[in-house]
């Protein structure tokens, strides 16, 4: 898997001055476009589109300094429709405009070319199972919230506080199938997975019961799910579990993620500092190669 990812990185590097089709990158990596974007973001720590933008502006910076092409020629070569758009992007990354950089003495920033390699630690193993689940429904309350990569998400915390104890009890009473009890569901995430982008958050249960008039519902199609278990400090353990699924489990197993919501079942300790958690990720087997 890592070898194919590095071939996709070579593909990017060879086409920085051309349009880059993410579908071509996914084919090179022998995976789906959906999974390729998510895997790249988890491994690289930034969205694929941001990496490509930074690499283009890095090599464009070198050409600006070299002075062999006009600034407009450099702009057009790296996909900018005007000198003004190029200047804004250039300043956003390098802190100076291209004209100032060409005059000399400016310090530019560089986005290094990425490659991926496996670091074998062998210090821990991941507990997981793959289950087939018929179509089901999540019922509860829904909010549109920003994505937070580390630490507590204040918007989610405020949303849950506003639901009220009586309503939470009514929601929990509807639970009648796995995963049991109150769950957190993330759906409709931006494909970039960038911090601050928004997602649909459901605080609810999995149920076959009728949907009460004052609650929201999400219908989830049938499919395969990888279910991961973890325990440790809250909320770090939950966020690290998601990271480890994409950086360790997927590259080592014949599965890829598929479109669908992510489900988290959390049980906090009495003091709220630790959690036992189950993370449900929609998956499908990869094609044999």
DSSP string, 9-71: HHHHHHTTTS---HHHHHHHTTS-HHHHHHHHHHHHSS-HHHHHHHHHHHHHHHHHHHTSS-H
How distant, in Å, are the alpha carbons of 132, 173, 192, 204, 264 from that of 209? 20, 10, 35, 12, 20
Over residues 142-188, the pLDDT tens digits come to 999 998 877 778 999 999 999 999 999 999 999 999 999 999 999 99
Question: With 50 as the cut, is the pLDDT of residue 206 above it?
Answer: yes
Q: Is residue 21 part of a domain?
A: yes
Note whether 27 and 167 are same-domain residues: no
Chain length of the chain: 289
- CB proximity list for 115: less than 8 A, separation 6 or greater: 6, 9
Q: Is-cis flag, bond preceding 235, omega within 30?
A: yes
For residue 262, the domain's CATH number is 3.20.80.10
Query: How many whole angstroms separate alpha carbon 166 and alpha carbon 164?
Result: 6
Query: What's the domain count of the chain?
Result: 2
Segment 30-38 mean pLDDT: 91
Query: What is the predicted pLDDT for the residue at 141?
Result: 98
Residue 239 scores a pLDDT above 80: no
pLDDT tens digits, 42-70: 888 888 999 999 999 999 999 999 899 99
How far apart CA 123 and CA 130 sit, in angstroms, is: 23
Q: SS3 helix, strand, coil % of the chain, rounded to 5?
A: 40, 25, 35
Which of the four pLDDT bands, split at 50, 70 and 90, describes residue 118? low
Identify the pLDDT of residue 289.
46
Is the pLDDT confidence value at 253 over 70? yes
Q: What is the pLDDT of residue 250?
A: 87
Contacts of 83 (CB under 8 A, 6+ apart): 71, 72, 75
Of 71, 103, 135, the last residue of a domain is 103
CA 217, 222, 224, 227 torsion: positive or negative? positive
Percent of the chain past pLDDT 70, that is, above it, reads 96
Average pLDDT over residues 264-269: 91
According to the model, what pLDDT value does residue 119 have? 54
Alpha-carbon span 202 to 185, nearest angstrom: 5
| Out of 37-41, 173-177, 232-236, least confident range | 232-236
Residue 179, φ and ψ in degrees, nearest 5: -70, 135
Q: So what's the pLDDT on residue 288?
A: 52
One domain for residues 145 and 266 = yes
The tokens describing 242, both together, are: 């998601």
What would the mean pLDDT of 268-277 be, rounded to a whole number? Answer: 88
Query: Same domain for 141 and 259?
Result: yes
When pLDDT is cut at 50, 70 and 90, the band that residue 121 belongs to is: very low
Q: What is the pLDDT of residue 124?
A: 46
Q: What is the mean pLDDT of residues 218-222?
A: 96
Whether the full predicted model's pTM is greater than 0.85, yes or no, is no
CA nearest 202: which of 147, 158, 162, 142? 142
Domain that holds residue 23: 2-103
Structural domain includes residue 118 = no
Last residue of a domain, one of 69, 103, 137: 103
Q: What is the mean pLDDT of residues 127-153?
A: 91
Q: Is residue 260 part of a domain?
A: yes
Does residue 47 fall inside a structural domain? Answer: yes
258 in the same domain as 184: yes
pLDDT for 122 beyond 50: no
Mean pLDDT rounded to a whole number for the chain: 90
pLDDT at 126: 63
Nearest in space to 31 (alpha carbons), one of 224, 227, 255: 255
CATH number at residue 79: 1.10.10.60
- Answer yes or no: do 134 and 92 share one domain: no
For the chain, give the percent of residues with pLDDT over 90: 67
């Amino acid at each position: 898997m890592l070898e194919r990812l590095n071939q996709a990185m070579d593909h990017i590097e060879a086409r920085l001055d051309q349009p880059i089709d993410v579908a071509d990158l996914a084919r090179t990596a022998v995976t789906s476009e959906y999974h390729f974007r998510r895997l790249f973001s988890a491994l690289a720590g930034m969205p694929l589109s941001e990496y490509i933008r930074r690499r283009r502006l890095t090599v464009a910076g070198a050409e600006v300094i070299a002075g062999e092409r006009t600034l407009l020629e450099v702009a057009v070569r790296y996909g900018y429709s005007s000198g003004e758009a190029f200047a804004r992007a250039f300043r956003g990354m390098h802190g100076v405009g291209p004209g100032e950089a060409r005059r000399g003495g400016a310090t530019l920033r560089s986005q290094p070319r990425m490659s991926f390699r496996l670091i074998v630690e062998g210090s821990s193993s991941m507990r997981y199972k793959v289950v087939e689940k018929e179509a089901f429904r999540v019922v509860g309350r829904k909010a549109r919230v920003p994505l937070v990569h580390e630490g507590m998400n204040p918007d989610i915390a405020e949303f849950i506080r506003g639901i009220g104890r009586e309503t939470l009890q009514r929601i929990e009473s509807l639970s009648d199938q796995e995963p049991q009890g109150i769950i957190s569901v993330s759906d409709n995430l931006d494909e970039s997975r960038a911090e601050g982008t928004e997602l649909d958050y459901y605080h609810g249960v999995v149920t076959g019961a009728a949907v009460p008039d004052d609650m929201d519902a999400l219908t989830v199609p049938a499919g395969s799910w990888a279910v991961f278990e973890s325990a440790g400090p809250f909320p770090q353990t939950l966020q690290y579990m998601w990271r480890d699924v994409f950086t360790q489990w997927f590259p080592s197993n014949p599965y890829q993620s598929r479109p669908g919501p992510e489900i988290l079942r959390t049980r906090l300790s009495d003091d709220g500092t630790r959690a036992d958690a189950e993370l449900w990720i929609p998956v499908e087997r990869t094609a044999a190669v």
